[in-house]
Structure 1
């Protein structure tokens, strides 16, 4: 399922990236990022590419369930916390 525009924007903001930074890193134009975040899906495959880009950087998209809306989590922070815990927990 493709995340809605506001969720794609939230994912970018979680990563602390500007549209231009995402565009360059993802190989898309800034205007494409802007269109996808505002709901103009004239290129649906672009939404898929953008969502995959965020997922590769540790963003987890939680699909709606039981009346709740979309969720967005920065899983890369959890992975970093796990790594830190392993370093400090070693005997």
Structure 2
């Protein structure tokens, strides 16, 4: 994979992550899902002990980042109310 292909893949992954975060936030605001439970599930999906290779470690990192971002969005919404 060359640099240009990697950049495109990176952008696609970011786009999917942003869509997922916005969907989760909207569902949380509508009371369809419980955001803190979703975040906890994302954090538990890839425990460090099982992230034994580079792809699993990268997956774990992204799941933790998504959970942190959803928590931050929730805190920001609470501050505005």
Give the structure-2-normalised TM-score.
Answer: 0.36
1 or 2, which has the higher helix percentage?
2
1 or 2, which has the higher strand percentage?
1
